[in-house]
């Protein structure tokens, strides 16, 4: 199946700093990528849809100035958590849609665990 990578897998940062998370589709082109966050023992909550070459669309309640998304190429989307605070600590997961195969399935990256101290 298609492979999606995320980097870093784990990051610890101080409150007030910014953290960038990369999501890459390794063997397919992804015109659309999605960013989710997941709290312990909870389900995935969609944060935003990342569209290659255009602005991301954010779900209700997600601050776009807080969570900056850039989708500069067909294989890379980045999520930057700006001025991170402890409440931003979470598991962030991206997924990518393989448009060439008909795009029926989203493939998930391995996730990035963020801890803000």
- The footprint of another protein (CB under 8 A) covers 1, 32, 34, 42-46, 49, 91, 93, 95, 97, 103-111, 113
Minimum distance from CB of 13 to another protein (Å)?
Answer: 19
List Cα–Cα distances, 101 to 28, 33, 51, 96, 105, in angstroms. 9, 15, 17, 12, 9
Residue number with CB closer to another protein (24 or 97): 97
Minimum CB separation of residue 83 from another protein in Å reads: 26
Closest approach of another protein to the CB of residue 16, in Å: 27
**Looking at beta carbons only, is 82 or 91 nearer to another protein?**
91
User: What are the CA-CA distances from residue 33 to residues 18, 47, 87 (Å)?
Assistant: 21, 11, 24
Q: How far apart are alpha carbons 87 and 70 in whole angstroms?
A: 23
């Amino acid at each position: 199946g298609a492979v999606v990578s995320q980097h870093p897998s784990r990051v610890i940062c101080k409150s007030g700093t910014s953290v960038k998370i990369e999501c890459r589709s390794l063997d397919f082109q992804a015109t659309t990528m999605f960013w989710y966050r997941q709290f312990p023992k909870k389900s995935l909550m969609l944060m935003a849809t990342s569209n290659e070459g255009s602005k991301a669309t954010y779900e209700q309640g997600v601050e776009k100035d807080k969570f900056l998304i850039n989708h500069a190429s067909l294989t890379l989307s980045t999520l930057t958590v700006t001025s991170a605070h402890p409440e931003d600590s979470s598991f962030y997961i991206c997924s990518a849609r393989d448009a060439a195969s008909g795009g029926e399935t989203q493939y998930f990256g391995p996730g990035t665990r963020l801890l803000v101290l």
